[in-house]
Amino acid sequence: MKQRVELNGKTILVTGSPGFIGANLVMRLLKELTGGVVISLDNMNDYYDPALKEYRLGLIEEAAKSSAARHVFIRGSIADRALTDQVFDTYQPAVVVNLAAQAGVRYSIDHPDTYIESNLIGFYNILEACRHHPAEHLVYASSSSVYGGNKKVPFSTEDKVDNPVSLYAATKKSNELLAHSYSKLYNIPSTGLRFFTVYGPAGRPDMFYYSATNRLSRGEKIQIFNYGNCKRDFTYIDDIVEGVWRVMQGAPEKATGEDGLPIPPYSIYNIGGGTPENLLDYIRTLQEELVRAGVLSPDYDFEGHRELVAMQPGDVPVTYADSRGLEEDYGFRPSIGIREGLRKFAEWYREYYGGKNG
């Protein structure tokens, strides 16, 4: 059972906004809410072009002008304990959505410190703040990467996930363990969401679909890993936001065990399309949509601009979400296909970059 959480009139903290998922979630909240305060918190780091975060922040501020809810942007890091405590002291958020994290599997191989700081220390600071300023619901981002090289598909939240193949995956699994312990010790209702390969307009430039578009638009070659023998459960941003929006409104119920101690109000869900796409098919669809949108010319030599290469360290050959839990508990299943999603991305890309190459 879920405890109903009313969002209207509440103070909601979204960390990692104006990151990709965070920005889209905040805009959805500003559109839907009939009152309350939405707080965005992000350090606006330069992991990728900060101009993109500034652009998303501009979209948020535009949405706030016609919203019944108030928007507050705070520039800072969740790894800064004093700042995190100050935000909770000042605003007392009723619902916390922690999307702030250092993302990226490959980047974690060369920059481990960043992941420990943001994904472990930062998340610990959020948990401590929720402990001292009890929230009705803590929702946080996990990742499909926790499944590592699991051979069994589709990936279920019932599967054992103790063999991460990257530091990024290990930090996300650690988030789930930390959240469970805090839920048990301090009765904090928490829900972790394992996102599967999120894509869409104004997404992360380090993600394949975006970086490949940048390279192709500059006439450079793209590398296709594992010689194209990869499958990914691509999930369009609107499906992710719809899932988070619904989950925010239903927290795990608090209950007491036979020992008189709290039964952890704790849940984990997959959010994925449930239809893994072969990477080569995905690339072909992307190419067709880039031509359709006018980003690339109809006579573009795709074969001459792609190179099949071996698997990268930390990568896995297949991701495939079993999202039945989300459907059963929240009545939602991602449904936007890659043709529709990549078309929206290609059209946005053309508009954002204009005649400039990415």
Average pLDDT of 61-75?
98
**Domain count of the fold of the chain:** 1
Q: Which residue has the higher pLDDT, 318 or 244?
A: 244
Please report, rounded to a whole number, the percentage of residues in the chain having pLDDT higher than 70.
Answer: 98
Q: List the one residue out of 109, 225, 117 whose CA is nearest residue 168.
A: 109
CATH at residue 122: 3.40.50.720
Average predicted confidence (pLDDT) for the chain: 93
Q: Residues 242-259: what's their mean pLDDT?
A: 96
User: Does the pLDDT of residue 357 top 70, yes or no?
Assistant: no
Task: Examine residue 298 and state whether it is found in any structural domain, yes or no.
Answer: no
> Which amino acid is it at 354?
G
Which residues span the domain enclosing 325?
A: 2-199+234-274+318-335
Residue 170 belongs to some domain of the structure? yes
User: What does residue 260 show for φ and ψ, rounded to 5 degrees?
Assistant: 85, 0
* Angle ∠(21,173,321) on CA atoms, nearest 5: 60
Of 114-123, 222-231, 341-350, least confident by mean pLDDT is 222-231
| Mean pLDDT of the 51-71 span | 97
Q: Give the separation between CA 20 and CA 277, rounded to whole angstroms.
A: 22
Q: Is residue 292 part of a domain?
A: no
Residue with the bigger pLDDT between 104 and 250: it is: 250
The answer on pLDDT for 36 being more than 80 is yes
Question: Is there a domain that residue 65 lies in?
Answer: yes
Q: What is the pLDDT of residues 121-168, one digit of tens each?
A: 999 999 999 999 999 999 999 999 999 878 888 999 999 999 888 899
In-domain check, residue 311: no
Query: Does the pLDDT at position 358 exceed 50?
Result: no
User: pLDDT at residue 187 above 90?
Assistant: yes
Catalytic residues: 168
Task: Determine contact, residues 214/205, Cβ cutoff 8 Å.
Answer: yes
- Which of 202-206, 217-221, 225-229 shows the lowest per-residue confidence on average (mean pLDDT)? 225-229
**pLDDT surpasses 90 at 94:** yes
